[in-house]
A = this chain, B = another copy of it.
């Protein structure tokens, strides 16, 4: 029988029809738990479609703060007859199945090992609300009410959320509360409330925010000084552009003239978007684009230009499941090879890997500094899970003293001081050379930027030795990059461990949960989270300090593992691949299953029910 769940430890999945307004009710549910101070994560599992198809919303509540996806649905809330068969199947043994009993479930469909919570949502809504436009919406609020009773969610918190959502609209709030009460009362009258798992107030989310990664990237771009954004719509990156527009309109309009201190170009495609970004950066503005895999593929040629002509470029890749159009509404970390090596010829690019909304904010801002410092593309590799789902995060912070690093740019005075300006002259021996911006000086410092080979003074050349010298300088710059990118974060045991876990981005939540589980089993294990490629010395050290390192990532081909091997010249045997590539966020149980294929599984560890 049922053996999962407990106080502040359960998973609820909502099964809805997309385009029916369930999203806001579901978000309210998750947010109410957050406001109760309890760690919670919510994942939208939506179709590549606008209206009428099944969509799911999965909420994990975990008092210990393990917020990666967890297998096993404790409570299924099903309002979609289309997906009901599937939803029945996906509920864990002994779990609860709440559904709209306006249309009762046929006996032959019922699983014996589930507990049914039947509530006539549509009937209740229709009876109590006359305006047909609202019936659908209030149906959703009714189930939120029922859940609040079942899971001990403070009604006042929900009412607070409604008040925040509809400021000054008491009437609307009132109707919503009415719907809420319908649910609460129905639940209390018909079921034993609460269930044996439920939410209980904590202080764990105090001071934190709940925000999606794309919005955080967008705010990061505003604070990071982006003035030009160019983009082309593509799921799951679109909301980065939306967010940038929203916050720029709030924060970057000149109060006196009403004019904009930013320009957003919705380009005709991704090739144009990256072209705009390169043109703007060449001309001294901080500019960026946001896209997903197919966009990165299309940007290949331009990324090679930016690498070779050394133009700062910031690209946010919100990864989705590839290849090709793949599963556009599912998550993966599968553009790593594509982004790292983007373009023909000998090219390598700097990648950043945020794993929380806070880091989306921070790394987006940092990407502009790095791009201008290194004069090369910087790609922020986020993904659908991080980008489009709300996550509990540290609040965003910005040191008012913080100055942008605009990199090596000669102004008119600098030019007057130098005898002869050499655009590609490595005067500081770090591989990074000085650039000038158009319009700087009447007679000095102008040069021709090109994707063809040139000498230290930017003069076109087909001389092989000069070409090779330049290519070697780019390697020197690459080595400098290793010292400038954010170093990894370590989660090491106090005692020496032979096993290391290595992960990055959205794999972090589940990897840390897996680590905790191993430690509980007295397995000594260290962990390192990559924040960037190329890799600093500490990455090498970590790998060589451990007998075996598990590289956990969400793609089929172990892309990060290959890059680690290539960049660090490591024997592949040291690195074991732990992979998930079905488009759903990786779980701790899955990680453990794969790790225990390589090391002895402790007796007590039940990877099923972590």
Residues of A bordering B, CB below 8 Å: 47-48, 292-294, 296-298, 300-301, 304-305, 307-309, 321-330, 332, 334-335, 337-339, 341, 343-348, 450-453, 462, 464-465, 467-468, 471-472, 475, 555-557, 559, 562, 565-566, 569-573, 581-584
A309 to B326 alpha-carbon distance, docked (Å): 10
| A322-B294 in contact (CB<8A) | no
A-B contact pairs, 23 of them (CB 8 A): A48-B462, A293-B344, A294-B301, A298-B301, A305-B323, A305-B324, A309-B324, A322-B343, A325-B450, A326-B345, A327-B462, A330-B462, A330-B464, A332-B345, A337-B341, A338-B344, A338-B345, A341-B341, A464-B582, A464-B583, A467-B582, A570-B572, A571-B571
A467 to B323 alpha-carbon distance, docked (Å): 11
Given A569-B572, A583-B467, A584-B464, A345-B323 contact (CB < 8 Å): yes
- Note all chain B residues with C-beta closer than 8 A to A307: 323-324
A292 to B343 alpha-carbon distance, docked (Å): 12
Partner of A297, one of B301, B326, B573, B584: B301
| B298-A323 in contact (CB<8A) | no
- Note all chain B residues with C-beta closer than 8 A to A451: 323-326
Q: Name which residue of chain B comes closest to A451, CB basis.
A: B324
Q: Which of A346, A451, A555, A584 has the most CB of B within 10 A?
A: A346
Q: Name which residue of chain B comes closest to A322, CB basis.
A: B345
Partner of A308, one of B47, B323, B468, B565: B323
| B569-A573 in contact (CB<8A) | yes
A467 to B335 alpha-carbon distance, docked (Å): 17
Copy number of this protein in the oligomer? 2
Q: Which of A307, A324, A559, A565 has the most CB of B within 10 A?
A: A324
- Note all chain B residues with C-beta closer than 8 A to A325: 305, 450-452
A184 to B67 alpha-carbon distance, docked (Å): 87
In the assembled complex, the CB of A318 is this many whole angstroms from the nearest CB of chain B, namely 12
Q: Name which residue of chain B comes closest to A334, CB basis.
A: B345
For the complex of A and B, the 5 pairs showing the least CB-CB separation, nearest first, are A322-B345, A323-B345, A293-B344, A324-B451, A464-B582
Partner of A322, one of B334, B346, B464: B346
Given A346-B555, A452-B327, A566-B566, A467-B304 contact (CB < 8 Å): no
| A323-B300 in contact (CB<8A) | no
Q: Name which residue of chain B comes closest to A453, CB basis.
A: B327
A189 to B305 alpha-carbon distance, docked (Å): 55
| B556-A471 in contact (CB<8A) | yes
A58 to B293 alpha-carbon distance, docked (Å): 44
In the assembled complex, the CB of A315 is this many whole angstroms from the nearest CB of chain B, namely 12
Q: 7 other contacts beyond A304-B324, A346-B581, with CB at 8 A cut-off?
A: A309-B324, A321-B467, A322-B345, A324-B345, A332-B345, A334-B346, A464-B582
Q: Name which residue of chain B comes closest to A574, CB basis.
A: B571
| B294-A462 in contact (CB<8A) | no
Partner of A347, one of B323, B346, B581: B323
A483 to B573 alpha-carbon distance, docked (Å): 25
A327 to B454 alpha-carbon distance, docked (Å): 9
In the assembled complex, the CB of A282 is this many whole angstroms from the nearest CB of chain B, namely 14
Q: Name which residue of chain B comes closest to A271, CB basis.
A: B298
In the assembled complex, the CB of A571 is this many whole angstroms from the nearest CB of chain B, namely 4
Q: Name which residue of chain B comes closest to A294, CB basis.
A: B301
A572 to B292 alpha-carbon distance, docked (Å): 32
Given A452-B48, A467-B327, A565-B565, A322-B344 contact (CB < 8 Å): yes
| A471-B581 in contact (CB<8A) | yes
| A322-B347 in contact (CB<8A) | yes
